Amino acid sequence: MNWGFSVPLLVLASSLLPGLLIFRLQERQHRLRTWLNMLGATLKLFLVAWVIRGVYEGRSFEARFPLSLGLELSLRADDVSLLFMGLSATLWFFTTIYAIGYLEGSSHRNRFFGFFSLCVTSTMGVAMAGNLITFLIFYEMLTVVTYPLVVHRGTVAALRAGRVYLVYTLGGGAGLLLGILWIHALAGPVDFTHRGVLSGLGPEHHGQLIGAFALLIGSLGVKAALVPLHGWLPVAMIAPAPVSALLHAVAVVKAGAYGILRVVYDIYGIEFAAGLGLLNPLAAVACVTIVYGSLRALYQTDLKRRLAFSTVSQISYIVLGTAILGPIATTGGLVHLVHQGLMKITLFFCAGNLAETLGIHKVSDLSGVGRRMPVTMAAFTVAALGMIGVPPVSGFVSKWYLGVGAAQSHEPWVLLVLATSSLLNAAYFLPIIRAAWFGESTAVWPRREAASWETSGAMLLPTVATACLALAAGVLASAEFSPLSVAERIVQRMYRP
Amino acid sequence: MSALLLGMELGLDGEGRVFAIFLSVVWALSGAFAYFYLEADPGRSRFAAFWILSLTGNLGIAFARDAASFYLFFALMTFSAYGLVAHDRTPAAFRAAKLYLVLAIAGEMALVSGLMLAVELAGSIRIAEIAAAIASGPERDLILLLFFAGFGVKAGLMPLHGWLPIAHPAAPIPASAVLSGCMIKAGLLGWLRFIPLGRAELAEWGFWVTLMGVTGALVAAGFGIAQQRTKEALAYSSVSQMGWMLIAFGVGLGAPGAEPLPRVAIWGLAAHHAVAKAILFLGIGIAARVPRRQWRIVWGLLVLAALSLSGAPGTGGAIAKGALKRAMKSGHAPDWLVETLFIATVATTALMARFLFLVHRERQASPKLGAERSLGLWFTWGAMLAVLSFGEFALDLLVGGYRQSWDAGWPVLVGAVLAFFLWRGSWKASPPGVSPVVPPGDVLLPIAGAVQIGLGGLNRAIERERKGPVKKAGALLRAKFSAAGARLEALEGNLADWSVAGGLFVTIGVILGWLLWHGRLP
């Protein structure tokens, strides 16, 4: 059996098949559903680990199918996709456990978990996409299958949020299609290749290339929450916590940022893009988003909305890393993909814990919760400190690389943006931590049972696990298989002369 | 260790050893004092937890050999100290702690930015290599500015010192002792580690830094004399003494040939100040708790410690300040600079006198105390006094056998006389509890007010932006869309009519036929 061909398909199938099966289940068969979920998640984790090891040993994993018109569906596991695949598989595993605990007793769980699995399938497809058309197919599939998750609760507000979400993302998808068509018209159905494929085009095409770039980035920027296309993100917070965690740490926003990464590195090529003068405007947009997101977050009273704007800001760190020429900045952007995912998912898990166990939705209700839910707030503290950039949590490592990279390419104004953003992060995270640990609790919360944990194990353990991972990624950043080392390896190949 | 963080490297060099020694001594003895002092405090274990974390951070800085670990321990110390300042959990304590943290984080942002620039310049995160690379780099001035500002917030550099007189007094006594004695030195160590002394390129910086040191030493002493409470006065004294160390630092920067004298002088000043300041702070704690008979002994010992801080002949302070003088002479500092030391000593002595007066006044004003068990407090405080006395010899060894002369006594005498007249004139008569002429925080207060107003305005602008024009535009667009939609509906309705549809069909068919007929090409 040709493993190189079938493994990418197996990775997709490991969540697609359970998802389709779950749709067929009856609502009361929750044991079977849980089994299917966990089986799929575990299997995917193993497969991705296998792929990672295989790629390190030099094997290639690629599956190609011809579509019509000379286009091909191409699924490939190269080093950049490994980063995203590893992150997605790991976080899906934890989110599945979390969702099982969170949705305990609620209705329509078949529908939820079915679309949940499809969502991860699409994310894996996006990660493994070997060319633009494959990317587009799975990107749009992602849009469609996340809509039912956003409107899961079925309330009027949820439906309205879903509508906003669709308007933004389908608009972005249309723009993406146009952009891809434009690239195909200029250069044919190109694959993602190290160092880009467009540098061979002569100067007469440069104007069009710039236009296509703007269109592509603008369309991908909807999902990547670049200002002013970020409006859907805070509105989508109406979704249940596992969905927010997934959307904001793994699937949707990362897919957008990942797309921007691929376009800049593997379609245009970083040096060619720099030559066309595309990087500075991109960096400017990223900086505006970083500061704007942090500023808006400061004034949110709802916890999840505050975290949403924080995501808007943090995803642009990845875009910023992409937009600065130089290996160190690139490393910073790439590794922030992983680090931000870990930290943000921890924060959303904590928000979900607080909402489900104690009914806390607003920041002002958090006073004194550290005594009632110490483990959750400890995880929140670790992740929040990482967001601010305090060592040894992993957020510090990515910010460090971004800063040193900016210094290397002689753009010290980026340091000012980073410093301002860190200050703003501190301004909206530290009061939460302070209130939780140092405040007096005035509200009446449900009492904790005698010998049990502060909340259900299914919700608590993933929170602790992702917080530990966020911490470990920083403490052990220089170890052999840390996200940082992986990113550095990728960048070495990217900038090799 | 290279797998940790960004390649963690820990080790002790000579400078690290000096700092590690005096820091650990002061932390340990203050900790022992805290054990007895906080016996009745229900939040003891909380305090102990934050204490240990801050201690780890403070000591870790001396061990760090690479920039990332340095920053790790620095940040650990900064954030843990919040818990110490806010320990009492009163609104005032929280306000002070918040101010402390805001400024500390701002300083850290400047510091990290400087570190990132410097690391890029040096191509390595090892501190020794960074310091070596800075002097000759192109962005030298920016990096130095960031380092001075970043570490300066922690070290009480004027005008970034405003948080000190607010935060140090808000903490419990043992915490104030280590805040003023030890944690403030973390900023100093940062300067010593990252900024290379004795390089010719930095001579100009040397002048300005020395000037800032002189200003800090004098102005802070002046503000301190105006204070009405003991802890605030001591806090300003710390700022003033850090000014002395800054003078030494400036001399070292500006005079390449003087090394290693300025550096050694700084060590001496830092070590001595740490012990002396801790004694003074802890003395306030004891003063409030001992019975009447022992009170005079306490006050007498405080006088001795104050004399040591001022640099009276025969004390460790004199040794340290003598070392500074020698460094200045060896660095060919201008005479007027050496003379300012005279004035600065006068000011310090007057400030110490003010402090002693305030301690006395607070003791008189407080209700009759004395039944509290104070043996443990005496024991630890006494140990620290012993360290101060015997430490003189160690200091002598460290800074190289400066033979004391009685010259050192003149400025102290002048200061004492000045203080006497002040006492007779205004101090004796003014009532306690009055707001000081210079409120603690001085320059910071108007700035903080301006920032609050600015942020509030920004918030209001953002809210207006969100609610106003965007919403109106959205409503307008929606109205236009629905109007267009209605018109389309009407049009479609017309098309559904058979006659219209049939006519259109025929027309299209004819046109297509004509095109096909004429489009046939050979």
Query: Mind listing the pLDDT tens digit for each residue in B207-266?
Result: 888 889 999 999 999 888 888 888 999 999 999 999 999 988 888 887 777 667 788 888
What is the residue-wise DSSP string for B399-424?
HT-PPP-GGGHHHHHHHHHHHHHHII
Interface of B with A (CB under 8 A): 2-8, 68, 71-72, 75, 79, 86, 89, 94, 98, 101, 105-106, 109-110, 112-113, 116-117, 119-121, 139, 142, 458-459, 462-463
Q: What is the DSSP string of A404-467?
A: HHHHHTT-THHHHHHHHHHHHHHHHHHHHHHHHHHSPP-S--PPPPTTS-SS-HHHHHHHHHHH
Q: What is the mean pLDDT of residues B277-291?
A: 88
pLDDT digits (tens, 9 = 90+) for B77-102: 999 999 999 998 899 999 999 999 99
Q: Given pLDDT bands bounded at 50, 70 and 90, which one contains residue A332?
A: very high
Chain A residue closest in CA terms to B466:
A296
Q: Do B109 and A406 touch (CB under 8 A)?
A: no
Chain A residues lying within 8 Å of B46, measured CB to CB: none
The token pair at B128 is 């020794």
B64 CB neighbours in chain A (<8 A) are none
CA-based torsion, A219, A220, A226, A229: positive or negative:
positive
Nearest chain B residue to A477 by CA distance is: B5
CA distance B82 to B54: 9
pLDDT (0 to 100) of residue B399 = 67
- Compare A140 and B134 and report the one with higher pLDDT: A140
What is the pLDDT at residue A412?
A: 82
Of residues A295, A407, A474, nearest to B117 (C-beta): A407
Chain B: give the shortest CA distance to residue A154, in Å. Answer: 24
Report the share of chain B in percent with pLDDT over 90: 30
* Distance from the B423 Cα atom to the nearest Cα atom in chain A, whole angstroms: 43
* Gyration radius of chain B over CA positions: 33
pLDDT higher at A70 or B229: B229
Give the model's confidence band at B28: pLDDT under 50 very low, under 70 low, under 90 confident, else very high. very high
Q: How far is A256 from chain B (nearest CA, A)?
A: 25
Instruction: Report pLDDT digits (tens) over A215-260.
Output: 999 999 999 989 888 888 888 888 888 888 887 777 899 999 999 9
Which residue has better confidence, B162 or B484? B162
| CB distance A286 to A277 below 8 Å | no
Q: How many Å is the Cα radius of gyration of chain A?
A: 21
Whether residue B76 has pLDDT greater than 90: yes
Give the closest of A299, A418, A478 to B462, CB-based.
A299
Q: Compute how many other C-beta atoms are within 10 angstroms of the C-beta atom of residue A46.
A: 12
Of B3, B98, B120, the CB nearest to A404: B120
Residue A206 has pLDDT above 60, yes or no: yes
Question: What share of chain B has pLDDT > 70, as a percent?
Answer: 91
> How far apart, in whole angstroms, are the C-alpha atoms of residue B201 and residue B391?
36
Summarised one tens digit per residue, pLDDT across range B176-216 is 999 998 999 999 999 999 988 877 677 788 888 888 999 99
How high does pLDDT run on average in chain B? Answer: 84
pTM of the model: 0.89
pLDDT of residue A256: 93
With a cut of 70, say whether residue B432 has pLDDT above it: no
Average pLDDT, integer, range B373-379: 79
* % helix, strand, coil for chain A, step of 5: 75, 5, 20
- Section B331-337 average pLDDT: 78
Q: Give which of A158, A159, A172 is closest to A221, Cα–Cα.
A: A172
Q: Do B6 and A407 touch (CB under 8 A)?
A: no
Task: Decide if B71 and A415 are in contact by the 8 Å CB cutoff.
Answer: no
Write the pLDDT tens digit of every residue in B476-520: 777 777 777 788 777 777 766 777 778 888 888 888 888 887 776
Mean pLDDT over each residue of chain A, to the nearest integer: 88
- Chain A nearest-CA distance from B141, in A, is 13
Q: Which pLDDT tens digit goes with each residue over A9-27? A: 888 888 888 888 888 887 7
In chain A, residues with a C-beta closer than 8 Å to the C-beta of B139 are: 412
C-beta neighbour count of B41 within 10 angstroms: 14
Burial class (CB in 10 A: 0-12, 13-18, 19+), A299: middle
User: At B522, is the pLDDT very low, low, confident or very high (cuts 50, 70, 90)?
Assistant: very low
CB contact under 8 A, A475 and B5: yes
Taken in order B35, B37, B42, B44, is the CA torsion positive or negative? negative
Name the pLDDT band for B406 (thresholds 50, 70, 90). low
Concatenated DSSP letters for B463-521? HHHHHTHHHHHHHHHHHHHHHHHHHHHHHHHHHTSHHHHHHHHHHHHHHHHHHHHHH--
- Distance between A396 CA and the closest CA of chain B, angstroms: 9
Secondary structure of A114-125 in HEC code, one letter for each residue:
HHHHHHHHHHHH
Residue B521 has what pLDDT? 46
pLDDT value of position B261 = 78
pLDDT in tens, B125-140: 888 888 888 877 788 8
Please state the φ and ψ torsions of residue A72, each to the nearest 5 degrees: -125, 145
* pLDDT single digits (tens) A143-157: 999 999 999 888 898
pLDDT for res B258: 65
Q: Could you read off the pLDDT of A300-327 as tens digits, one per residue? A: 889 999 999 999 999 999 999 999 988 9
A162-202 confidence digits (pLDDT tens):
998 999 999 999 999 999 999 888 888 888 888 778 877 78
Q: Output the CA torsion A282→A286→A288→A291 (10° steps).
A: -160
Confidence of residue B369 (pLDDT cuts 50, 70, 90): low
Q: Per-residue pLDDT averaged across B19-47, rounded? A: 90
pLDDT one-digit tens code per residue, B55-66 = 999 999 999 999
Check residue B452 and give its pLDDT. 78
Residue B331 CB partners (closer than 8 Å, separation 6+): B251, B252, B254, B255, B257, B258, B261, B262
Which residues of chain B neighbour A415 with C-beta distances below 8 Å? 113, 116-117
Nearest Cβ partner for A438 among B2, B86, B142: B86
Q: Per-residue pLDDT tens for A247-299?
A: 777 789 999 999 999 999 888 888 888 888 888 899 999 999 999 999 888 88
Question: Span B36-65, mean pLDDT?
Answer: 91
Of B86, B116, B458, the CB nearest to A407: B116
Closest CB from A406, A423, A477 relative to B5: A477
Least confident of A185-189, A424-428, A473-477, B64-68: A185-189
Q: Which residue has the higher pLDDT, B72 or A66?
A: B72
Question: What is the rounded average pLDDT of the residues A387-415?
Answer: 91
pLDDT at site A22: 86
Inter-CA distances, B364 with A131, B304, B370, B435, Å: 83, 21, 13, 19
